[in-house]
């Protein structure tokens, strides 16, 4: 297969965590991947660790940088088949302790950034003959979730955005889906465990116990990566506008 025929993907926020696992899974499945992160050095390091990957650092909040990311991917790899808007940040605070600046910190990355990535990737994917976009949302997007209200609101909007784009792009050969993970053991969560414990009145280490009770264990980045690959698989040609939950049962049960 020539390099212009090989499927290609952009994964944002892919220097570590879920994004890096998605990039690794896609590479194993024969994609050439663009690693893209706001942390340029980490982005370059991650790309160097994956066969055929290239690094195009990008802050997904910046429209010009997102345009340059998509243009750069097509220029360097010849085509674009898959966009995975994965970059995300979280803050832990009740909504009444969340000021507008904090709200915007979360929504600018988790919602505006996803909009920009989908908005600019879609025409490039259409020009390559069709493909996929898989957004990394969250189960918090379909459930009220104390202490991460700004994050949950942004994820709810991402789910809706994916469903709307799925309809708008159906006849243009682009499928748009979202994955909704529960708690995954990455820095995004583990670095904030103590804050959760403080607000919830749990002893040190108590957050791990809560997760074990609610979803059995932490999910792994690799599990999310396989769900992304499943949705992007050309065999799933009629799966579009769906939101695939993987959370060990967290969101499906009251007790």
Ligand X SMILES: NC(=O)c1ccc[n+]([C@@H]2O[C@H](COP(=O)([O-])OP(=O)(O)OC[C@H]3O[C@@H](n4cnc5c(N)ncnc54)[C@H](O)[C@@H]3O)[C@@H](O)[C@H]2O)c1
Work out how close the CB of 22 gets to ligand X at its nearest, in angstroms, rounded to a whole number. 9
Query: What part of residues 146-205 is at the interface with ligand X (CB under 6 A)?
Result: 181, 183-184, 186-189
Q: Which of 87, 125, 165, 250 binds ligand X (CB under 6 A)?
A: 87
Q: H/E element holding 31? A: none
State the Cα angle at 160 between 223 and 144, rounded to 5°. Answer: 75
User: Per rule CB under 6 A, is residue 24 in the interface with ligand X?
Assistant: no
Nearer to ligand X, 15 or 159 (CB): 15
CB 23 within 8 A of CB 229: no
Place of tokens 């053991």: 185
Shortest approach of ligand X to residue 4 CB, angstroms? 27
Residue 88 interacting with ligand X (CB under 6 A): yes
Shortest approach of ligand X to residue 225 CB, angstroms?
10
- Beta-bridged to residue 246, according to DSSP, are 181
The CA radius of gyration of the chain, in Å to the nearest whole number, is 18
Mark the segment that binds ligand X (CB under 6 A) among 1-9, 16-24, 169-177, 206-214. Answer: 16-24
Identify the residue among 15, 53, 74, 153 touching ligand X (CB under 6 A). Answer: 15
CB 240 within 8 A of CB 37: no
47 binds ligand X (CB under 6 A): no
Question: What is the DSSP code (8-state) at residue 145?
Answer: -
Instruction: Provide the residue count of the chain.
Output: 255
| Cβ proximity to ligand X, 131 vs 182, nearer residue | 182
Active site members: 151
SS3 148: strand
How far apart, in whole angstroms, are the C-alpha atoms of residue 44 and residue 64? 20
Residues of this chain that interact with ligand X (CB under 6 A) are: 12-13, 15-19, 37-39, 58-61, 86-89, 109, 113, 136, 138, 181, 183-184, 186-189
């Amino acid at each position: 297969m020539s390099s212009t025929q090989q499927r290609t993907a952009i994964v944002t926020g892919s220097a570590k965590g879920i994004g890096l696992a998605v990039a690794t899974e896609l590479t194993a499945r024969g994609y050439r991947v663009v690693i893209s992160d706001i942390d340029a050095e980490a982005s370059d390091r991650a790309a160097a660790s994956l066969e055929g990957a290239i690094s195009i650092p990008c802050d997904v909040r910046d429209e010009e940088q997102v345009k340059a990311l998509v243009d750069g991917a097509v220029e360097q790899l010849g085509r674009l088949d898959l966009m995975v808007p994965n970059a995300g940040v979280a803050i832990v605070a009740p909504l009444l302790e969340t000021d507008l600046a904090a709200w915007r910190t979360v929504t600018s990355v988790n919602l505006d950034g996803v909009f920009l990535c989908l908005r600019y990737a879609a025409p490039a994917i259409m020009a390559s003959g069709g493909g996929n976009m898989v957004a990394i949302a969250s189960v918090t997007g379909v459930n009220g979730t104390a202490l991460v209200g700004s994050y949950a609101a942004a994820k709810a909007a991402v789910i809706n955005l994916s469903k709307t784009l799925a309809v708008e792009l159906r006849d243009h050969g682009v499928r748009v889906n979202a994955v909704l993970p529960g708690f995954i053991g990455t820095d995004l969560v583990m670095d904030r465990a103590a804050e959760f414990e403080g607000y919830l009145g749990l002893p040190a280490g108590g957050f791990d116990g809560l997760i074990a009770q609610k979803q059995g264990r932490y999910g792994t980045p690799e599990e999310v990566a396989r769900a992304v690959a499943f949705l992007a698989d050309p065999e799933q040609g009629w799966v579009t506008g769906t939101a695939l939950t993987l959370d060990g049962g967290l969101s499906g049960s009251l007790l």
